[in-house]
Amino acid sequence: MDRSIHIDQDTLAVFALGALEPRESRRVGMHLDQCERCRANLKGFKAAADGLLHSAPPVEPPARLRANIIAQISKAQPARRTSWWQRLTNLPLAPIALGLSAILLALNVGLWLQVQEVQQLEAQLLAQVNEDRIAQGLYAYPDVHRVLIEGENVYGSAIYEEYLRFAVLYVWGLEPLPEGQIYQVWLIEPDGDRVSGGLIDVEAGEEFIQAVVRAPAMIKGFDGIGVTVEPAGGSDQPTGVKVLGVDL
């Protein structure tokens, strides 16, 4: 600012009271640093301002007035925007931790069930592959015996070798059973006792069944093979309807 242009008296008076806007106050301060005349005028205004401060004794405002002023100021302040992180940190931690634990537990249980299902399916596929290999091997065995299977609406054949501990049934016509029931294969001993040779589960749409019958001893020690309807999981002895039989 050109020092030949001095600060007017009104501006100096307001400056002395500290009531100028920051930008205007900086402008006046820069001029005062370079202008001795304006500094001298400012001293008079400062003396007058100091006199005003000490001209009246200090008075303590009533407590109610102070409380009202604070309340009005609080109402007048605009609501502060909070970030999503601030809102999150203000939430109670215990319910959040409990909710996250429940979610993680549900995910772990779901994953465990999926793993169990996959393992069960894998075991079933391996068992089926193993049965297919047994059936193919027995079918190609040189001294294999083949016997026709006859039953009501059921037909097929059984193949076996006397000195092996398994036989294979090829059956057409077995109907899917209601839930809670299953077909069970029995090996018939010479004294008439029955020994379980395994279970056959027929699914909807299956017209042909290949089942490996597993025996506790060589097949030559048994007189025949039969199949009955039993509760799911099988029985210790036949309890249901016989659907087919074959003499060995």
DSSP assignments along 109-147, one per residue: HHHHHHHHHHHHHHHHHHHHHHHHHHHHHHHT-TT-EEE
Q: Would you say 245 and 227 are in contact if contact means Cβ atoms under 8 Å apart? A: yes
Confidence bin at 238 (pLDDT 50/70/90): very high
179 vs 117: which has the higher pLDDT: 179
pLDDT tens for residues 52-85?
A: 555 555 556 666 656 666 666 666 555 555 565 5
Confidence bin at 194 (pLDDT 50/70/90): very high
Q: Return the domain boundaries, the chain.
A: 9-72, 145-247
Confidence bin at 120 (pLDDT 50/70/90): low
> What global pTM score does this model have?
0.48
* H-helix segments, 1-92: 9-16, 22-34, 36-55, 63-76, 84-89
Q: Which pLDDT score, from 0 to 100, does residue 20 have?
A: 80
Confidence bin at 1 (pLDDT 50/70/90): very low
Q: Which pLDDT score, from 0 to 100, does residue 74 have?
A: 62
d(CA 33, CA 132): 105
> What is the percentage of the chain residues whose pLDDT exceeds 70?
66
DSSP letter assigned to residue 29: H
In whole angstroms, how far apart are CA 213 and each of 145, 168, 192, 222? 14, 6, 18, 12
Report whether pLDDT(108) > 80. no
Report whether pLDDT(2) > 60. no
Q: Which pLDDT score, from 0 to 100, does residue 225 have?
A: 92
| Topology at the third CATH level for domain 145-247 | Immunoglobulin-like (2.60.40)
Q: What angle do helix axes 9-16 and 36-55 make, rounded to 10 degrees? A: 50
Q: Would you say 209 and 171 are in contact if contact means Cβ atoms under 8 Å apart? A: yes
